[in-house]
Structure 1
Amino acid sequence: MALTIGVGLLGLMLLSSAVWAGHGKKGEEGKRAILLAAFGTTIPEAQKALDQVEQRVRQEFPGVEVRWAYTSGMVRKKLASEGKTLESPEMALARLMDDGFTHVAVLSLHTIPGREFHELAQNARLFGQMSDGFRKVSVAWPLLSSREDHVRVAKAMIRQIPSGRKPQDAVVLMGHGSEHHPSDAIYSAMNLAFHELDPNIHVATVDGYPQLEDILPRLEAAKTRKVYLMPFMAVAGDHARNDMSGDEPDSWKSVLKAKGFDCDIVLKGTAENAEIVDVWLDHLKTAMRQLD
C-alpha cells in the first residue's frame, strides 16, 4: 500500500508541472510542427524502431511537419563522428522557431518522466514564454505517466513474449532507471502491474531500482530454470546488446548463466510494439489538442 500511495503522490507531483506554454489565442491555427524527442541510438538496427514511430506519427497527423531531436549528448557526439547530424531538443526548437513555426507539440519517447524528460519540458516551456517565441508549445508525457499506461504497457509487453515460453519460465525486462530521480519508483510500480498479470515477469534496471541482483532471489525461490531477457526501452540499443545480452562477464545474460539459468534473448524495443506506440500516440494527441 505504501508503494502505491507513494507512486500516486509522485504522479500528482509530476502532473503539477506545466507541460505547455505560450501566448497565442485559443483556436488559433498557426503553423504547426511535431518534434519527436528520444534518448537516441547509434545502432542502425535500433534506429529502425524510431523510424517506425515517425511513420505512425505522420500517418496520424498528415501534413504536419515532423522533426527529430536526441536528448543524449553522448549519442549525438558519436553520430557526429560518423558524419550524421542529430540536433539537441534546444537546437531543434530554435530551428523550428527560425523556420516560422508557431505551434509545436513535443513527443517524449522516454519511458519514464525522469531527469531528461523534465529538462525537455522545462526548455520547451521557455521557448513558449519568449516574447518572440512560439505562440503555443506543448510537451506530451512519456510512456509511463499514469496507472492506465502501466496496465496497457504491461499487457502489450506480455503479448510480445515469444509463444514458446512456458508458464514457469521467467521474463526479466531491462529498464534504464534513473538513480537520483523520484520517477525511478515507476519501475517498482511496473513490477506490481506485471505481477498482477504474471508473477514470473520482473522489471530490473541498469541505473536505478530494482537492479538484477534485487530480483535474483525471486528467480531462485521460484526454482526458475529458463529466463527470457527483453529490453524495456524504446530501442534495443547499446544497453540491450551489451549490458543485457553481451558476452562480457558482467552482462545480465552472463550473470544469469553463471548462476545456472538458461537464457533466451529478445532484442525488440518497446517502440517496435504497435500497442505500446499507441500509448505514446495517445499522449501526443493530447498535446496536439493543447495547441488549439
Structure 2
Amino acid sequence: MLPIIMTAFGTTSDALATYAYLGGMVGNAFPDDEIIWAYSSRMVTRELQQRENQSAMHLEEVLEKLASQGISKIVVQSLHLFPGIEFHRLHQATRQSGLDFAIGLPLFTAPSDYDRLAAILQPVIRSRPEQAILLLGHGTDHPVWTAYYSLEKILRRTFGNRLYVGVVEKSPDSSHLVDEIAEAGFTEVGILPLFLVKGLHYRRDIIGDGPGSWLSRFQRKNIAAGCIADGLGFMPGVAELIITHIASAREKLLR
C-alpha cells in the first residue's frame, strides 16, 4: 500500500464536495493505495480544523505523521492548476521530509495537459457558438503567470479568437478584457472559472453582486454574462487528468 497525498490549497466553502468526488475517483483508480488529504494553506487548514473538519491537516503535518509511522515511500499529488508559489512550497516541504517521494505535477504543466483541457472543454464551448468564452483563473506574482498567455494561445487553436483567458487578481493584467470583448461585438459571454472548486473567488470576484465582480462589469457594458460551470473539479475528464499525473509519479517512485 502506497500513501497518495492529495494536496490542495484548500477551501472553507461547500466546495469540499469537489474534493470528496476527486478523492473517490482516485481511490477507484488506485484501490490498493491509501488516499490522504492535505492542504498547502496554513490559514485554510486552521479554519477547517476550527469550523468544519477537525481532521484537516497541513501537508507538513501529514508528512511528519507518516514519517513517525515508519512509512518510507509516498506520492504527493499537487491539485494546484499551475506550478506556481504553492506548488514550489509543496515541493520544498516534501523534499525536507526525508521520505522517499515522487510528486504528481499540477494539472496544467506539460503542453499535453493544455491539449487535454481543450478536449475537456470541447462539448461545453462548442454548444455556445455565438458567445465569447472567458476562462477566469486566479492569477499570480510567480513567473508562471505567463502560462495564462500560453493557455489562451493553445486554446485558440481549437476555439478561435472568441476564447479569452483572464485572472481575478495579480498577473497577468486582465483589466482590459471586458472592453476587448465588447469591442469585438459580443453581446453574450460564457465565463468558465479556471478553478478546481467553487470557492471564495467564484462567489465574490466572478458572480458577486459587488461593482467589481466580472458579472457586474459585463452588465455595465450590456453584455449578458453567465457561468458555464462551477469550476473544473466535476467536469468529465479532469479527474482522469489528475489520475494520469498520479500514475506517472507512482511509476517513477516504484521503478
Report the TM-score range of the alignment, normalised by the length of the smaller protein: over 0.9
* Structure 1 residue 224 corresponds to structure 2 residue 186: yes
Q: What is the CA–CA distance in structure 1 between the aligned matches of 2:240 and 2:45, rounded to whole Å?
A: 27
Q: What is the CA–CA distance in structure 1 between the aligned matches of 2:217 and 2:182, rounded to whole Å?
A: 13
Of 220, 227, 235 in structure 1, the residue corresponding to residue 197 of structure 2 is 235
Q: What is the CA–CA distance in structure 2 between the aligned matches of 1:162 and 1:49, rounded to whole Å?
A: 25
1:140 corresponding residue in structure 2: 104
Q: Give the letter for the 2:45 counterpart.
A: R
* Structure 1 residue 170 corresponds to structure 2 residue 139: no
Single out whichever of 264-273 and 225-234 deviates more from structure 2. Answer: 264-273
1:120 corresponding residue in structure 2: 90
Question: What are the within-5 Å matches in structure 2 for residues 80-229 of structure 1?
Answer: 80-85=49-54, 86-128=56-98, 134=99, 136-161=100-125, 163=127, 165=128, 167-179=129-141, 181-198=142-159, 199-229=161-191
Quick check: 1:212–1:252 contact (8 Å CA) kept in 2?
no
Question: What are the within-5 Å matches in structure 2 for residues 4-19 of structure 1?
Answer: none
Q: What is the CA–CA distance in structure 1 between the aligned matches of 2:126 and 2:69, rounded to whole Å?
A: 46
Cα displacement (A) at 1:162: 8.3
Runs of 4+ with >3 A deviation: 160-163, 208-212
Q: Give the letter for the 2:119 counterpart.
A: K
| Equivalent residues, number | 252
Could you tell me the TM-score, scaled by structure 2's length? 0.93
Cα displacement (A) at 1:51: 1.0
Q: Secondary structure in 2 aligned to 1:278?
A: helix
Q: What is the CA–CA distance in structure 1 between the aligned matches of 2:164 and 2:105, rounded to whole Å?
A: 24
* Structure 1 residue 35 corresponds to structure 2 residue 41: no
Give structure 2 stretches of 5+ with no counterpart.
none
2:25 corresponding residue in structure 1: 56
Q: What is the CA–CA distance in structure 1 between the aligned matches of 2:236 and 2:70, rounded to whole Å?
A: 33
Could you tell me the TM-score, scaled by structure 1's length? 0.82
Quick check: 2:197–2:233 contact (8 Å CA) kept in 1?
yes
Q: Secondary structure in 1 aligned to 2:75?
A: strand
1:20 corresponding residue in structure 2: none
Cα RMSD of the aligned pairs, angstroms, is: 1.6
Cα displacement (A) at 1:258: 1.0
Single out whichever of 200-209 and 86-95 deviates more from structure 2. Answer: 200-209
Quick check: 2:208–2:215 contact (8 Å CA) kept in 1?
yes
Quick check: 1:187–1:209 contact (8 Å CA) kept in 2?
no
Q: What is the CA–CA distance in structure 2 between the aligned matches of 1:208 and 1:188, rounded to whole Å?
A: 14
Q: What is the CA–CA distance in structure 2 between the aligned matches of 1:65 and 1:178, rounded to whole Å?
A: 32
* Structure 1 residue 77 corresponds to structure 2 residue 41: no
Cα shift readout 1:38-91 (whole Å, capped 9, x = no counterpart):
0111112x1111111111111111121111111122322322331523111111
Q: What is the CA–CA distance in structure 2 between the aligned matches of 1:77 and 1:43, rounded to whole Å?
A: 14
Q: Secondary structure in 2 aligned to 1:35?
A: strand
Give % identity.
Answer: 29
Cα displacement (A) at 1:208: 3.5
